[in-house]
DNA sequence: ATTACCTTGTGAAATCATTCACAAGCCCGC
DNA sequence: GCGGGCTTGTGAATGATTTCACAAGGTAAT
């Protein structure tokens, strides 16, 4: 299949979220226009996004809410559980470990790791914080699919290298630093300070 | 001035971060190639990005690290302090309130708000958690520039409306829900579950 | 069964972003 | 002060994404 743009995947995920709400409200079908109104997309955008993956609607009628939800879950790989390890049990790592929003969407935190003896042994929402020295052994045993990196920037690359060597193929990084991974590994970064800087730029360039 | 793409602003911010590191290492000048190597951009990209704002380099030599840093800070509006309020003192709100990465880049948390009496009155990194009913009065008094929204999705739109009505023009939202703001307000959202879904997509579509 | 009305799916067009490629400019050594 | 070697700044070319616009296909009422 042709490579799909990230912006498309991002929107598919937004469509799915809205479809689930819409389904809960008891609606059977939805048009591309209704689906678009939600996230600020256009109806043509919705149809184009879906067209990369097939043909899901009925002309004149729209899309079956439940069928399209299923298709999107299938496309996004959400018809299953994903196991996640979190490296770093500090402020942000702890918040992530206790975030129900992940579990609700099929992402299960199966391990949290830290190096600080004061944190190791503690428990976060039922998951015990383990020593980072157990990381390799635990990854080999639990075969998690995704690692979240929530350690200080200086430590991030070393930890990424370790989880990659242990077989992890997908990483979500919260440390504000560029990281290297082999091509076969997907790395995404959330950089909150950067988000604020974009707001700063918008504020100083507001033309009014 | 011509409208600048968000991807450009994002990269400028990354360049600045690296320039600061580079300056700390005692380097005087840097070429577009060196600057690019960092974040995976190309040298042409760096030059094009900068060219939107002026001409900062010397042909044959490169850019003065300190002069370019200053220019980028100026462009991004980082030559000043920004005051930030955080709405929601739960797990993620508390982590954000205690995050030194913000203060280090000129973003000062001047207020944290919650509705839960158990949290109000507590203190997070020196900032006292106040009752959300004080929000309007405090915004009028402290004139913060930016609001971070860290409340449950159901409550987010109502809080956004309140901070916007109070005069806030820039919002960073952490609730996984689409929000409406007037055109003059800049809204950005960080959606961590969405980031994991993009990883999920990458994992199921890995072609190897 | 025909008509009126909707909405999809999709090439083509338009817009937006990145990369190319090179003239112009500057440094430095001689 | 001239030439060789580098690096910028920028139009033009390419590539990617979004929007347009409409034929094709479906519904539902009569
Ligand atoms: N706090 C936030 O809201 C926030 C927001 C965005 C990004 N971040 C980033 O997330 C990272 C963590 O931030 P934080 O605020 O949670 O800091 P923190 O100091 O509270 O937590 C960091 C944790 O990582 C652990 N750690 C350090 N080295 C380690 C190693 N080699 N192996 C395992 N664990 C190790 C520490 O023991 C500590 O518990 C930083 O890179 C920070 O920039 C934090
Ligand atoms: N925990 C995470 O790591 C994480 C990650 C990403 C996104 N989020 C999102 O951030 C938001 C908060 O998540 P959390 O995990 O911190 O939840 P939480 O329950 O720990 O915190 C939510 C806080 O908001 C407060 N609140 C509720 N309504 C309010 C109102 N009207 N005014 C003021 N305060 C109010 C609650 O009292 C509570 O303290 C949610 O939308 C969640 O989806 C959380």
**A97 in ligand 1 pocket by Cβ < 6 Å?**
no
In this structure, the answer to whether residues B94 and B170 fall within a common structural domain is yes
Cβ atoms within 10 A of the Cβ of A111, count? 22
Write the CATH number for B183.
3.40.50.720
At A153-169, the pLDDT tens digits run 999 999 999 999 999 99
Give domain status of residue A156, yes or no.
yes
| Residue A58 belongs to domain spanning | 6-76
- The minimal CB distance from B195 to the residues A38, A77, A190 is found for A190
* Count of CA atoms in the C-beta half-sphere (13 A) of A146: 27
Residue A92 C-alpha to ligand 1 middle, in angstroms? 7
pLDDT score recorded for residue B64: 96
**B174 in ligand 2 pocket by Cβ < 6 Å?**
yes
In this structure, the answer to whether residues A62 and A102 fall within a common structural domain is no
Which residues are CB-neighbours of B176 under 8 A, at least 6 positions away?
A17, A101, B153, B191, B192, B193, B194
CA dihedral B42, B18, A181, A194 (to 10 degrees): -100
pLDDT score recorded for residue B1: 67
Cβ atoms within 10 A of the Cβ of A20, count? 16
Which of A46, A76, A106 lies at the terminal end of a domain, its last residue?
A76
pLDDT score recorded for residue A40: 84
Within 7 Å: CB of A42 and strand C? Answer: no
**A130 in ligand 1 pocket by Cβ < 6 Å?**
no
Specify the 3-state DSSP secondary structure of A172. strand
Average pLDDT taken over every residue of chain A: 95
Give domain status of residue B53, yes or no.
yes
pLDDT score recorded for residue A207: 73
Q: Which pair of structure tokens corresponds to residue A194?
A: 């950067």
Contact A140, A166 (CB under 8 A): yes
pLDDT in tens, chain A (208 residues): 678 999 999 999 999 999 999 999 999 999 999 999 888 899 999 999 999 999 999 998 999 999 999 999 999 999 999 999 999 999 999 999 999 999 999 999 999 999 999 999 999 999 999 999 999 999 999 999 999 999 999 999 999 999 999 999 999 999 999 999 999 999 999 999 999 999 999 999 987 5
Which of A21, A49, A76 lies at the terminal end of a domain, its last residue?
A76
Question: What is the pairing mode between strands B146-149 and A186-189?
Answer: unpaired
Give domain status of residue B208, yes or no.
no
Contact B112, B130 (CB under 8 A): yes
pLDDT score recorded for residue B39: 81
pLDDT score recorded for residue B100: 95
**A132 in ligand 1 pocket by Cβ < 6 Å?**
yes
Give domain status of residue A200, yes or no.
no
Answer whether B13 sits within 8 Å of A198, measured CB to CB. yes
In this structure, the answer to whether residues A31 and A52 fall within a common structural domain is yes
In this structure, the answer to whether residues A125 and A45 fall within a common structural domain is no
- A39 touching B (Cβ < 8 Å): yes
In this structure, the answer to whether residues A162 and A123 fall within a common structural domain is yes
Distance CA A110, CA A89 (A): 13
Residues of B (46-85) whose Cβ lies below 8 Å from A: 75-78, 82, 84
**A111 in ligand 1 pocket by Cβ < 6 Å?**
no
pLDDT score recorded for residue A159: 98
Contact B156, A206 (CB under 8 A): no
In this structure, the answer to whether residues B56 and B126 fall within a common structural domain is no
Ligand nearest to the CA of A160: 1
Q: Which atom of ligand 1 is nearest to the CA of A156?
A: 41
Specify the 3-state DSSP secondary structure of A181. coil
Q: Which pair of structure tokens corresponds to residue B104?
A: 């280090």
Contact B181, A181 (CB under 8 A): no
Q: Minimal CA–CA distance to B174: which of B202, B197, B155?
A: B155
Chain A nearest CA to B59, separation (Å): 28
Q: In what order do the strands lie in the sheet with A170-173?
A: A123-124, A127-131, A107-114, A82-87, A146-149, A170-173, A186-189
What is the total count of domains within chain A? 2
Distance CA B77, CA B113 (A): 26
Which of B76, B108, B125 lies at the terminal end of a domain, its last residue?
B76
Give domain status of residue B206, yes or no.
no
Which residues are CB-neighbours of A33 under 8 A, at least 6 positions away?
A43, A46
Q: Which pair of structure tokens corresponds to residue A122?
A: 């503690």
In this structure, the answer to whether residues B99 and B11 fall within a common structural domain is no
Ranges of residues in chain B whose predicted pLDDT is under 70:
1, 208
Within 7 Å: CB of B25 and strand D? Answer: no
Q: Minimal CA–CA distance to B168: which of B96, B94, B84, B80?
A: B84
| Cα-to-chain-centroid distance, residue B125 | 20
In this structure, the answer to whether residues A105 and A15 fall within a common structural domain is no
Give domain status of residue B205, yes or no.
no
Give domain status of residue A16, yes or no.
yes
Residue A74 C-alpha to ligand 2 middle, in angstroms? 29
pLDDT score recorded for residue A1: 67
Write the CATH number for B40.
1.10.10.10
Interface test with A, best of B86, B202, B208 (most A CBs within 10 A): B202
Q: What is the DSSP string of A113-149?
A: EES-TTTTT-EETTEEEEEGGGHHHHHHHH--SEEEE
Nucleotide nearest to A8 (CA to C1'): D17
Ligand nearest to the CA of A117: 1
Q: Which atom of ligand 2 is nearest to the CA of B119?
A: 39
What angle (nearest 5°) sits at the alpha carbon of residue A179, between those of residues A147 and B27?
155
Contact A30, A22 (CB under 8 A): yes
pLDDT score recorded for residue B208: 59
In this structure, the answer to whether residues B39 and B107 fall within a common structural domain is no
SS (H, E, C) chain B: CCCCCHHHHHHHHHHHHHHHHHHHCCCCEECHHHHHHHHCCCHHHHHHHHHCCCCCEECCCEEEHHHHHHHHHHHHCCCCCEEEEEECCCHHHHHHHCCHHHHHCCEEEEEEEECCCCCCCCEECCEEEEEHHHHHHHHHHHCCCEEEECCCHHHHHHHHHHHHHCCCCEEEECCCCCCCCCCCCEEEECCHHHHHHHHHHHHHCCCC
At A22-49, the pLDDT tens digits run 999 999 999 999 999 888 899 999 999 9
pLDDT score recorded for residue A208: 59
Distance CA A163, CA B55 (A): 42
In this structure, the answer to whether residues B96 and B18 fall within a common structural domain is no
In this structure, the answer to whether residues A29 and A97 fall within a common structural domain is no
Q: Which residues in range 70-129 of chain B are in contact with strand D, contact meaning CB within 7 A of any of its atoms?
A: none
Give domain status of residue A27, yes or no.
yes
In this structure, the answer to whether residues B68 and B101 fall within a common structural domain is no
């Amino acid at each position: 299949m042709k490579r799909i743009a990230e912006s498309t995947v991002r929107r598919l995920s937004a469509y799915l979220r809205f479809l689930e709400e819409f389904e809960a409200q008891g609606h059977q079908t939805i048009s591309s226009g209704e689906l678009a109104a939600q996230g600020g997309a256009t109806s043509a955008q919705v149809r184009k996004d879906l067209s990369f993956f097939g043909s899901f609607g009925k002309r004149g009628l729209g899309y079956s809410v439940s069928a399209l939800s299923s298709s999107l879950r299938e496309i996004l790989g959400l018809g299953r559980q994903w196991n996640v390890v979190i490296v770093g049990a500090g402020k942000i790592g702890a918040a992530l470990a206790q975030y129900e929003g992940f579990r609700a969407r099929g992402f299960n935190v199966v391990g949290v790791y830290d190096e600080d003896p004061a944190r190791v042994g503690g428990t976060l929402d039922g998951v015990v914080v383990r020593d980072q020295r157990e990381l390799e052994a635990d990854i080999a045993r639990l075969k998690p699919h995704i690692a979240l990196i929530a350690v200080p920037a200086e430590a991030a690359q070393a930890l990424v290298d370790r989880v990659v060597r242990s077989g992890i193929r997908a990483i979500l990084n919260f440390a504000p630093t560029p990281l290297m991974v082999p091509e076969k590994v997907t790395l995404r970064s959330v950089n909150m300070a950067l988000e604020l800087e974009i707001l700063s730029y918008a504020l100083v360039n507001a033309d009014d």
